[in-house]
Amino acid sequence: MYARTWKLNLLPNFFEPVFYLASVGIGVGAYVQQMGGLRYVEFLAPGLVCVAAMNGASFEVTYNVFIRLAFEKTYDAMLTTPIEPDDVLVGEVTWAITRSMIYGGCFYTILVAASLAPLPASLLVVPVLALAGLLFAALGLAFCVRLPAIDFFSYYFTMFLTPLFLFSDVFFPLKERLSPAWLTVAEVLPLLHPVRLARAAFHGGAEPLRVAWDLTYILVLSALLLLYARGRIRRRLTN
């Protein structure tokens, strides 16, 4: 709807998955011979691409949006122009997705250079990055709009994103470690779904039903959360 001219700043968060890949993939990989039928570093690659995308979106819609909402009067200024609150929301989500694609895309490029991403099949991960961006933009925004103070974001990161990162099929295949009952419970984890899609893009073995479920999960949850965030943002900006 409107062009965003915020300056790009590639945050250190981008390097986090890169370091994980290097240390865990190469370090732990030396001891763990095989994971899910792959070299460990190959197993890690698709999950970490999604983590990069998750970080890209999350930092944008949490700290940055909160600051604009609470401290800077950026949105109030926008609303003196023909822009409506819905445009603000669309703008933020679009920008978060863009950030996801930049973070994830750069990481993906590194993987391709390191021959950890089979071409051309793994290119399918690009739309997955966009979906991950959408999902984590929605999650972050829904959290952001009802936050009383900026300090609470540390909970979001340590209590929510970090466990997700550890338990969403990124470091080990859940289905080899969890009982069927727990596997069903694990389906609520948001990061699991883009990771599974990314893994299918990298290494094949996509089951149509599962892909359909992952896509549905991502789209429906995003839609619900954004609808919620939209109501809150409207009320906050126009009262």
Partner 1 sequence: MAACGDAAMISPPPPAPKGIIRARGVSKRFGDRMAVDGLDLDVPAGCCFGLLGPNGAGKTTTLRMLYGVTRPTSGRIEVFGLDVATHSRTVRARLGVTLQESVLIEALTPVENLMVFGRYHLMRDAELRPRIDELIDFLQLGSHRDVPVRNLSGGFKRRLAVALSLVARPQLLILDEPTTGLDPAVRLALWTKVRELRDHGTTVLVTTHYMDEAERLCDRVAIMAAGAVLVEGEPRELISRLLARDTVEIEASEQEAAQLLSGYEESTNRMQAGNRAVVHLEDAAALVSHIRGRDSVADRRLIVRPTNLEDVFLHLTGMTLEASA
Task: Label residue 205 left, alpha or beta by phi (over 0 means left) and psi (-120 to 50 means alpha).
Answer: left
Quick one: 82 or 180, whose CB is closer to partner 1? 82
Taking the complex as a whole, how short is the minimal distance between the CB of residue 86 and partner 1, in angstroms?
11
Q: How far is the CB of 65 from partner 1 (least distance, A)?
A: 15
Compare residues 6 and 19 and give the one whose CB is closer to partner 1. 6
* 92-121: b (≥16 Cβ within 10 Å) or e: bbbbbbbbbbbbbbbbbebbeeeebbbeee
Binding of partner 1 by 148 (CB under 8 A): no
81 or 179: CB nearest partner 1 = 81
Q: Which is nearer to partner 1, 31 or 71 (CB)?
A: 71
Residue 48 or 69: the one with the smaller Cβ distance to partner 1 is: 69
Q: How many CB atoms lie within 10 A of CB 235?
A: 11
End-to-end CA distance of the chain: 23
- Tell me the closest approach of the beta carbon of residue 224 to partner 1, in angstroms: 26
Joined together, the tokens standing for residue 40 give 């460990």
By CB neighbour count within 10 A (0-12 exposed, 13-18 middle, 19+ buried), where does 41 fall? Answer: buried
Q: Contacts from 227-232 at CB under 8 Å and sequence distance 24+?
A: 228/142, 228/145, 229/89, 229/138, 229/141, 229/142, 229/144, 229/145, 230/85, 230/86, 230/89, 232/145, 232/146
Shortest distance, position 233 Cβ to partner 1, whole Å: 13
User: How many residues line the site for partner 1 (CB under 8 A)?
Assistant: 19
| Minimum distance, C-beta of residue 66 to partner 1, in the bound complex (Å) | 16
> Binding partner 1 by CB under 8 A: which of 12, 31, 33, 82?
82
Residue bearing tokens 């009982």 = 179
Q: Is 79 in the site for partner 1 (CB under 8 A)?
A: yes
Burial code (b: 16+ CB inside 10 Å, e: under 16) for 146-178 equals ebeeeeebeebeeeebeebbebbbbbbbbeeee
Q: Which is nearer to partner 1, 16 or 87 (CB)?
A: 87
CB closer to partner 1, 33 vs 238:
238
Tokens of 162: 């970090």
Residue 154 in the binding site for partner 1 (CB under 8 A): no
Binding mask 24-63 for partner 1 (x = CB under 8 A): ----------------------------------------
Task: Answer yes or no whether residue 2 interacts with partner 1 by CB under 8 A.
Answer: yes
Q: Is 239 in the site for partner 1 (CB under 8 A)?
A: yes
Interacting residue ranges for partner 1, rule: CB under 8 A: 2-3, 5, 7, 72-74, 76-84, 237-239
